[in-house]
C-alpha cells in the first residue's frame, strides 16, 4: 500500500458508506455521492499510481502526452489505448478534448503561455488554465458526448516547487478518478522539469465525487482487499519530456510506461464494470 492508496481507499469508503443516493437523469444510473472532496498529494514523495488494484500506465501516459500535444483527433491516442473511443465523433475527434482546449480552442496556447509566463514571472498567481467553454458546455446547452469533468487547473511556484491545483466538477471515483490523478501528476512533473523546479503539492478538488450503482460490487471487493505493502513509486522523467510531448513523440509514451512498470506491482484487476456515458 502506498500513500495514495490510503487516500483513495479512505475517500472511496467514505462515499460508499456515507454518500447520498442521487439518480442521474442523463445516465439512468443512481449514484452514491459526496460534494466537495479534496485530496492533498505530494508526488515527490510517491507518485499517485494506485496499487490496490491494477491500473494501466499505458493509458494515462498516452493520454497525458495526447493532452500536451493539443490534439482532438484520437489517432495518436489509439496507438496505445481505445479508452476514449466511446466519446468520438464520426470524424474520429473528441470535441471537448482537454489538450485541444488548452492549446487551441480559446484562441491562445494556454499551456505554452503558462510555461513562458511562469518562466518570466515565477511569483505569479495568475497561472490559470481552463477547458470549460461556457458558450457551449453544460447548463442549457445542447447535450454532447462529453463535457470536461476536470474543467480548470491552476499552477504556481512557491518555495522553488511547482504546485498544481485541479478542480473537477464531477468524478467517477472508480473508473475516472485514479486515471485523472495520475494524468495530472504526470503533467505536473513535466511542467516542473521544463521550468527547472521541484515538484510540489498536487491538490485535487472534486465538486461531485460519486460511485455508480453498477460499481458497488467492485467497490466492496476493493475495500475488502488486504493490500500488500508497496514501495512508493518515483517519477523519473526522460529529459525534455514536456517538449517531446508537445511534439507528440510516441517513443516518449513507451519510455514513460517502461519507467512506471519497472516499479509497479499492483493488486488484481478490478471486476469489470460498464462505463456510464
- 155-168 tens-digit pLDDT: 999 999 999 999 99
CA 67 – CA 165 distance, rounded (Å): 17
Length of the chain: 277
CA 5 – CA 10 distance, rounded (Å): 8
pLDDT tens, position by position, 30-39: 999 999 999 9
pLDDT tens, position by position, 239-274: 999 999 999 999 999 999 999 999 999 999 987 877
pLDDT at 178 (0 to 100): 98
CA 106 – CA 52 distance, rounded (Å): 39
pLDDT tens, position by position, 166-220: 999 999 999 999 999 999 999 999 999 999 999 999 999 999 999 999 999 999 9
pLDDT at 277 (0 to 100): 59
Q: What is the mean pLDDT of residues 19-36?
A: 92
Confidence of residue 227 (pLDDT cuts 50, 70, 90): confident
Q: How far is CA 39 from the centre of its chain?
A: 13
In contact, 88 and 107? CB cutoff 8 Å: no
Mean pLDDT taken over the chain: 96
pLDDT at 275 (0 to 100): 74
CA 201 – CA 217 distance, rounded (Å): 33
Give the residue ranges of DSSP H helices in the chain. Answer: 3-18, 57-69, 75-78, 98-100, 110-120, 177-195, 216-224, 241-246, 250-261
In contact, 51 and 5? CB cutoff 8 Å: yes
- Cell digits of residue 37: 472532496
Nearest in space to 62 (alpha carbons), one of 45, 82, 42, 44:
82
Higher pLDDT, 27 or 65: 65
Q: Is the CATH number of domain 3-261 3.40.50.300?
A: no
CA 249 – CA 254 distance, rounded (Å): 9
- Cell digits of residue 34: 459526496
Domain range summary for the chain, segments of one domain joined by + = 3-261
CA 114 – CA 119 distance, rounded (Å): 8
- Cell digits of residue 148: 470536461
Confidence of residue 20 (pLDDT cuts 50, 70, 90): very high
Q: List phi, psi (to 5°) of 164.
A: -130, 135
Q: Which residues have a Cβ under 8 Å from the Cβ of 34 and sit 6 or more positions away? A: 14, 15, 18, 19, 20, 209, 210
Amino acid at each position: 500500500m502506498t500513500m495514495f492508496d490510503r487516500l483513495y481507499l479512505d475517500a472511496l469508503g467514505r462515499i460508499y458508506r456515507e454518500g447520498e443516493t442521487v439518480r442521474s437523469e442523463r445516465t439512468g444510473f443512481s449514484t452514491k455521492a459526496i460534494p466537495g472532496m479534496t485530496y492533498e498529494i505530494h508526488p515527490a514523495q510517491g507518485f499517485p499510481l494506485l496499487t490496490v488494484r491494477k491500473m494501466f500506465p499505458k493509458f494515462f501516459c498516452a493520454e497525458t502526452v495526447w493532452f500536451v500535444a493539443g490534439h482532438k483527433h484520437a489517432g495518436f491516442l489509439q496507438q496505445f489505448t481505445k479508452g476514449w473511443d466511446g466519446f468520438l465523433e464520426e470524424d474520429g475527434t473528441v470535441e471537448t478534448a482537454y489538450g485541444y482546449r488548452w492549446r487551441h480552442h480559446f484562441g491562445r496556447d494556454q499551456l505554452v503561455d503558462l510555461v513562458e509566463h511562469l518562466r518570466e514571472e515565477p511569483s505569479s498567481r495568475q497561472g490559470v488554465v481552463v477547458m470549460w467553454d461556457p458558450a457551449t458546455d453544460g447548463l442549457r446547452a445542447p447535450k454532447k458526448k462529453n463535457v470536461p469533468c476536470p474543467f480548470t487547473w491552476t499552477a504556481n511556484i512557491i518555495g522553488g516547487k511547482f504546485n498544481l491545483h485541479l478542480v473537477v466538477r464531477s468524478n467517477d471515483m472508480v473508473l475516472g478518478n485514479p486515471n485523472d490523478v495520475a494524468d495530472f501528476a504526470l503533467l505536473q512533473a513535466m511542467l516542473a522539469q521544463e521550468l527547472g523546479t521541484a515538484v510540489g503539492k498536487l491538490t485535487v478538488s472534486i465538486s461531485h465525487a460519486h460511485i455508480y450503482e453498477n460499481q458497488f460490487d467492485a467497490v466492496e471487493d476493493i475495500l475488502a482487499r488486504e493490500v500488500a505493502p508497496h514501495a512508493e513509486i518515483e517519477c523519473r522523467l526522460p529529459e525534455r519530456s514536456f517538449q517531446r510531448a508537445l511534439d507528440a513523440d510516441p517513443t516518449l509514451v513507451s519510455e514513460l510506461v517502461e519507467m512506471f512498470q519497472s516499479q509497479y506491482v499492483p493488486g488484481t484487476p478490478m471486476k469489470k464494470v460498464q462505463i456510464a456515458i
